[in-house]
Amino acid sequence: MPSKSTRPTFAVLATGAGVFAMLQSLIAPALPTVQHALHTSQSTATWVMTAYLLSASVFTPILGRVGDLVGKKRTLVAVLVAVLAGCLLAALAPTIGVLVVARVVQGAGGALVPLSFGIIRDEFAPREVPGSISALSAVIAAGGGVGMVAAGPIVSALDYRWLFWIPVAVVAATVLIAVRYVPESPRRAEGSVSWLGALLLSGWLVALLLPISQAGVWGWGSARTVGLFVLAALLFALWLIAESRSRSPLVDLRVMRLPAVWTTNLAALLFGAGMYAIWSFLPGFVQTPSSAGYGFGASVTASGLLMLPMLVAMFLSGMLSGRLEPVFGAKALLTTGAALGALSCAMLAVRHDRQWQIAVAAGLFGLGIGLAFAAMANLVVASVPPDRTGAATGMNANIRTIGGSIGAAVTGVLVTGRLQPSGLPYGSGYTHGFTLLAVLCLAAALAALLVPVRRRAVPAAGPEKEPAPTAPAPAPARVR
């Protein structure tokens, strides 16, 4: 945990990253309300989610790298201002088109995650870094849960526009505090932004995630879907070539090939697939009328409250992981978190006809999310050079998002592949979906076992900072 002198900085970082995570899930339960209020179709309303996903995926690694180059505080403040502008525009949006544009602007907030991890590494004493990263990861994980739980009551008591007015007030205060209390990081990476790398990275991410998110509408075999997948593969290959030849790559592929980094990213891809799919489909499951043979006919508010055990568990386990990591190691926590996710999904596949069963499984998955989020961040931060922290943690977050998009899309195919005459999915679709998610989380646990095991050097007590590396690509820090 941060010391007294760094607590204002940590409060700013936690608030900003927490608001970004909350905005990611806050609007999802309110999409039907938005659709009705703005007189649009369901397929068009889904772009409110898709635009945010695509924007965050593009901005996260690019602005993470910009922060490494020009200064993390300067970039952090600029990103917070962008989020503030996006929330204000969304709160005032008169049409669905303006709301989608606002969500694109809000997506810049994805960079708050790698920037925050980088500032912690630069400004906090080495002995505080693992615990502070774990605590920040807990806030990020819990932020997504807060969005699911809070959306229903806010919309019921006020209006869907207050889903953005409230963040406007919070982010405005955070900007002012950030300018006053967050110090500018002394470490700067050498070089410049590789705009060719940024363009190609943006291109293949959009070409990959767009058909995944829209395939349910377009069709998996449609020319548009297949064509974008082919384009994504081509742009990805070009991006690899460009980055490997660049003197100042956007994402240093040598760093991405470090054993502790690529194995953690593989686990992030698989665990993200299970996590985001659970967030997407479990509320819909409990909202399904019991006449379908499953579900509880819960309201948006009630379904959010049923997710409350997940929210509480992920926050507590994330906070606790800071104390557990020095004892058991980040690898063990990542493996355990993924295994808990697999156990939770297996329980849902076998038993889901009582609300307490859903609550227990959700709480168990929340424990896994809290442990896994903190462990992934610590593994990546401890394994890369300080001047590559932003780009490396940004790519880890992106890979988790890509996994989540794939997991949600494939689960959607299983759930909605066969529909009852009423138009509702069969219960077997959810059973197959939960089974798939259990397999994905189990695969993530197995991938976590591949992470190299090394001991962390114990830093001396005191407020000293981590020494700057003397080589451009130092050996990875030793982690358990």
* Token duo for residue 182: 């967050």
Residue 171 contacts residue 91 (beta carbons within 8 Å): no
Instruction: Count other C-beta atoms under 10 Å from residue 290's C-beta.
Output: 11
d(CA 156, CA 129): 41
CATH of domain 4-183+250-448: 1.20.1250.20
pLDDT in tens, the chain (480 residues): 565 578 889 999 999 988 888 888 788 778 778 888 898 876 788 788 878 888 888 888 888 888 888 888 999 999 999 999 999 999 999 999 999 999 999 989 988 988 998 899 888 888 888 888 888 888 887 887 788 788 878 888 888 899 999 999 999 999 999 998 888 877 776 767 778 888 898 898 889 888 887 777 788 889 999 999 999 999 999 999 998 888 878 777 888 888 999 999 999 999 988 887 887 788 888 888 888 888 888 887 787 788 889 888 988 888 888 788 888 888 999 999 999 999 999 999 998 888 899 999 999 999 999 899 889 988 988 888 877 777 788 888 888 888 887 887 788 888 877 788 888 888 888 999 999 999 999 999 999 999 987 654 434 334 444 444 434 444 444 444
Contacts of 364 (CB under 8 A, 6+ apart): 313, 340, 343, 344, 347
Cα dist. 71→183, 184, 188, 201 in Å? 10, 6, 7, 22
Contact 325, 144 (CB under 8 A): no
**How far apart, in whole angstroms, are the C-alpha atoms of residue 97 and residue 158?**
23
Q: What is the dihedral of CA 206, 207, 213, 217, to 10 degrees?
A: 130
Spell out the domain ranges in the chain: 4-183+250-448, 194-249
- Full-prediction pTM beyond 0.85? no
CA dihedral over 44, 49, 52, 53, signed as positive or negative: negative
Q: Which residues fall within 8 angstroms of residue 173, CB to CB, at 6 or more apart?
A: none
